[in-house]
C-alpha cells in the first residue's frame, strides 16, 4: 500500500471526489467540485436544477469522464469506465426514473445479466432464495416471482433498492427517491436507509424536499452553478440556510406576489363522470379568466383524472363542459387543443418530452400544423423563431436550439414543455404537478410564469401535492377525495388543516 493510500485511509472517508471538473461545448458543468462521504452516513447532495449534481454522479459512475480531479473509494484511487464497472466495485444508484423490464418478474430484474448458474442452466431456486433473503433484511413484503408491471411505483422503487443491495454496494446513490411515495412509504424507505447505515453503507441522497433532507441526513453538500459551495453537518442547518446556500441569496419570499385579478367565467364543468375503473364522479366547478385554481387531494383522490377527462385522454361517460358558455366535446387531445385547452403532464420524462430529440422539436410538436407553408413544406424559419420565443420567454438555459432536451435540467425541461403549449395559444392551461423534482429557484420562475399568464386572461388549473405551493400561488383550491369534489375554498381564507380535513371527507 503506497503512502497516498495510507493517508486517505486515515481520513476515514468511504468515498472522496476531489476537485472534479467537467466541461461540455459552451458549458462548464463542474468546476473543482468535492464530495466526501463517511461510512454509515446519509450525505445529502443539494443544489438547484442545473447545479451539476447529475453530472457529478455520472462522473462517479463512469458515464462521463472528468477532465480533472480524482476519485477514491475506501482510500483507493478509482476511475470507472462504465456503470457496470462501478456496480461491480460496490457503487450503485437508485434512479428517479425507474428503468425496469416490466414484463419480467422481480427476481429477473434484480439479477439481470448475472443470473446464478447450475451448470448451463439458470438456478431459479438460488435466485429466489437470494432475493427472498434481501427482502427479509430490508423488510420488503413482495413475492420475488411477481411481475414488475403489476407493482406500484413505490414497490418498484423498493425493488431497485434491493437490486443495489444485491451488489453488496458500499455506496448507494438515491436520486429523488420519495418523489412518488406516500408518507407511509417514505417512513418505510427511511427504515431501510437506517438499516443500510448500520451496515456501514454510505448513502448519497439527492432531493429537493428540505424537511426530508434535515430529517434523514448526517451531512449536506450544496452545489451551485457547477461549483462546490459548502459541506456542513445537517444538524447545523435550517431550511432557510440551505435555500440561501443553493440560490446564493436569501429567498425571503418563496412565492411571487399574486397580482392577477380573476374576471368572468371561462370554463364551466357540470356533473362530470369518467369511465374506466373507478374515476371521477359528479365533478362540478368553474374557472375564471385570470384565475389560478389549485386541485388538492391525497394520493388516489383522482385529481389527474379531472384534467385527463377535460383534455380528451380519459373518456367521459356523462356531464358537460362549457367554454365561454358554449358546450364543447373534447373527445380527443386534438379536439381539446382546438377548443383552447393545454395539458402539462405529471410524468415529464415518460409523457412530456421526446428525450432523444432536440429543443426545437420539443417546442413545436404540439402545434405542427402551423409550420407547413402553402406548398406543404416545413417553414424552418418559423420553427426556429417559435423555438427561440420559447427559450427567451421561458428563460430556458441551453447552449442552442439543437441541444437534446434530455440533457437539460428538470426545471429547464419543464419550461420547454410549458412554452410548447403556450405556442398553441390556449385559453385554459392545465398543469399536473408542474414543479415536481424541480429546485426552489426554478419553482419561483414557474410560479411567476403562471401569474404572468393569469394576468394575460388565461385560466390556469394546477394540481399539486405540496401544500405550501397550493396556498402560495392559487386563488381558489378545489379539494378532491375518492373521485369526488369534497369542497372548493378561497385560498386566502383557508388553512392547511381545512384542506386536509376535506381531503379525508369521503374516505
Which residues are within 8 A (CB) of 125 and not within 5 positions of it... i.e. 6 or more apart?
Answer: none
In a domain, 383, yes or no: yes
> What does the pLDDT read at residue 427?
92
Q: Which helix (H) or strand (E) holds 317?
A: strand 316-323
State whether 259 and 287 are in the same domain: yes
CA terminus-to-terminus distance, the chain: 63
DSSP state of 372: B
Q: Does one domain contain both 231 and 262?
A: no
State the pLDDT at residue 2: 46
* 478 and 362 part of one domain: no
> Grid coordinates standing for 477?
383550491
Phi (first) and psi of residue 377, to 5 degrees? -100, 155
In a domain, 354, yes or no: yes
For residues 326 and 257, membership in a common domain is answered with yes
Domain count, the chain: 3
Residues 215 and 324 in one domain: no
Q: Does residue 91 contact residue 170 with C-beta atoms inside 8 Å?
A: yes
Q: Is 463 helix (H, G, I), strand (E, B) or coil?
A: strand
Taking alpha carbons only, the member of 433, 444, 441, 448 closest to residue 258 is 448
Q: Compute the distance between CA of residue 356 and CA of residue 341 in angstroms, rounded to an integer.
A: 26
pLDDT in the model for residue 161: 85
Q: Phi/psi of residue 135, each to 5°?
A: -60, -40
Within a domain: 320 = yes
DSSP string, 123-135: -HHHHHHHHHHHH
CA-to-CA distance for 324 and 426, rounded, in angstroms? 13
Phi-psi region of 216 (alpha: psi -120 to 50; beta: other; left: phi over 0): alpha
3-class SS of residue 234: helix
Domain identity same for 323 and 385: no
Domain that holds residue 388: 348-424
The reported pLDDT for the residue numbered 49 is: 65
Residue 488 CA from chain centroid, whole number: 27
Please say whether the beta carbons of 467 and 473 come within 8 A.
no
For the segment 38-81, what is each residue's pLDDT rounded down to a tens digit?
A: 999 999 998 876 688 888 999 998 888 999 999 999 999 999 99
Assess whether 330 and 383 both reside in one domain.
no
**DSSP assignment letter at 483:** T
Q: How far apart are CA 368 and CA 140, in angstroms?
A: 47
- Angle made by CA atoms 7, 62, 38, in degrees to the nearest 5: 40
Going by C-alpha positions, the residue among 413, 307, 290 that lies closest to residue 357 is 413
Handedness of CA 273, 274, 275, 276 (dihedral sign): negative
pLDDT tens-digit readout, 199-208:
899 999 988 7
Here the CATH number for the domain that contains residue 216 is 3.40.50.300
Q: Which residues in the chain show pLDDT less than 50?
A: 1-10
CA distance 175 to 80: 20
What is the model's pLDDT at position 472? 92
Q: Is residue 373 part of a domain?
A: yes
Residue 204 sits in the same domain as residue 82: yes
For residue 265, the SS3 value is strand
| CB-facing half-sphere around the CA of 372: CA atoms within 13 A | 8
Q: Considering 424, 451, 479, which residue would you say is the last residue of a domain?
A: 424
In a domain, 449, yes or no: yes
Overall size of the chain counted in residues: 507
Q: Are residues 307 and 449 in the same domain?
A: yes
Residues 364, 501, single domain; the answer is: no
Asked if 389 and 494 sit in the same domain, the reply is no
The Cα–Cα gap between 185 and 155 comes to: 9
The x, y and z cell numbers of residue 396, run together, are 430556458
Q: How far apart are CA 67 and CA 441, in angstroms?
A: 28
User: DSSP character for 115?
Assistant: -
DSSP state of 400: -
Domain boundary pick from 384, 405, 424: 424
Residue 146 lies in a domain: no
| Sheet hosting strand 202-206, strand order edge to edge | 91-94, 171-175, 202-206, 42-46, 219-224, 227-233
Identify the CA nearest to 401 among candidates 411, 416, 414: 416
- Alpha-carbon distance 418 to 403, whole Å? 17
Amino acid at each position: 500500500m503506497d503512502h497516498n493510500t495510507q493517508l486517505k485511509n486515515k481520513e476515514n472517508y468511504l468515498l472522496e471526489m476531489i476537485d472534479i471538473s467537467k466541461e461540455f461545448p459552451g458549458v462548464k458543468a463542474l468546476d473543482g467540485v468535492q464530495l466526501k462521504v463517511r461510512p454509515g452516513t446519509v450525505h445529502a447532495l443539494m443544489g438547484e436544477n442545473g447545479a451539476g449534481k447529475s453530472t457529478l454522479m455520472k462522473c462517479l459512475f463512469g458515464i462521463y469522464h472528468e477532465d480533472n480531479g480524482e476519485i477514491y473509494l475506501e482510500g483507493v484511487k478509482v476511475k470507472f469506465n462504465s456503470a457496470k464497472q462501478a456496480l461491480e466495485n460496490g457503487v450503485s444508484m437508485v434512479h428517479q426514473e425507474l428503468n425496469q423490464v416490466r414484463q419480467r418478474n422481480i427476481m429477473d430484474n434484480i439479477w439481470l445479466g448475472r443470473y446464478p448458474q447450475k451448470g448451463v442452466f439458470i438456478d431459479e431456486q438460488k435466485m429466489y432464495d437470494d432475493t427472498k433473503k434481501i427482502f427479509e433484511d430490508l423488510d420488503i413484503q413482495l413475492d420475488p416471482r411477481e411481475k414488475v408491471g403489476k407493482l406500484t411505483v413505490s414497490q418498484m422503487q423498493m425493488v431497485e433498492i434491493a437490486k443495489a443491495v444485491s451488489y453488496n454496494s458500499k455506496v448507494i446513490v438515491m436520486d429523488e427517491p420519495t418523489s412518488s411515495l406516500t408518507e407511509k412509504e417514505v417512513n418505510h424507505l427511511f427504515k431501510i436507509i437506517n438499516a443500510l447505515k448500520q451496515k456501514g453503507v454510505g448513502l448519497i441522497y439527492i432531493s429537493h424536499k428540505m424537511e426530508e433532507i434535515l430529517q434523514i441526513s448526517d451531512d449536506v453538500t450544496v452545489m451551485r452553478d457547477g461549483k462546490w459551495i459548502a459541506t456542513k453537518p445537517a444538524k447545523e442547518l435550517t431550511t432557510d440556510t440551505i435555500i440561501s446556500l443553493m440560490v446564493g441569496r436569501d429567498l425571503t419570499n418563496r412565492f411571487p406576489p399574486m397580482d392577477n385579478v380573476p374576471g368572468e367565467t371561462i370554463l364551466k364543468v357540470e356533473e362530470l363522470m369518467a369511465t374506466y375503473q373507478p374515476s371521477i364522479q359528479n365533478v362540478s366547478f368553474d374557472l375564471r379568466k385570470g384565475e389560478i385554481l389549485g386541485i388538492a387531494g391525497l394520493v388516489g383522490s383522482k385529481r389527474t383524472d379531472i384534467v385527463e377527462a377535460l383534455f380528451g385522454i380519459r373518456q367521459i361517460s356523462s356531464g358537460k363542459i362549457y367554454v365561454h358558455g358554449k358546450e364543447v366535446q373534447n373527445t380527443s387531445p386534438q379536439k381539446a387543443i382546438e377548443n383552447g385547452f393545454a395539458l402539462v403532464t405529471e410524468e415529464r420524462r415518460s409523457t412530456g418530452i421526446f428525450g432523444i430529440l432536440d429543443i426545437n422539436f420539443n417546442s413545436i410538436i404540439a402545434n405542427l400544423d402551423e409550420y407547413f407553408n402553402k406548398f406543404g413544406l416545413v417553414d424552418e424559419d418559423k420553427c426556429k423563431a417559435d423555438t427561440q420565443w420559447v427559450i427567451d420567454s421561458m428563460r430556458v438555459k441551453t447552449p442552442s436550439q439543437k441541444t437534446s432536451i434530455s440533457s437539460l435540467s428538470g426545471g429547464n425541461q419543464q419550461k420547454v414543455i410549458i412554452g410548447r403549449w403556450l405556442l398553441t395559444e390556449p385559453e385554459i392551461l392545465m398543469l399536473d404537478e408542474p414543479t415536481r423534482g424541480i429546485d426552489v429557484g426554478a419553482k419561483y420562475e414557474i410560479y411567476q410564469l403562471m401569474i404572468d399568464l393569469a394576468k394575460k386572461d388565461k385560466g390556469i388549473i394546477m394540481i399539486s401535492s405540496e401544500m405550501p405551493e397550493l396556498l402560495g400561488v392559487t386563488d381558489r383550491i378545489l379539494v378532491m377525495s375518492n373521485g369526488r369534489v369534497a369542497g372548493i375554498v378561497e385560498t386566502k381564507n383557508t388553512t392547511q388543516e381545512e384542506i386536509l380535513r376535506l381531503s379525508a371527507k369521503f374516505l
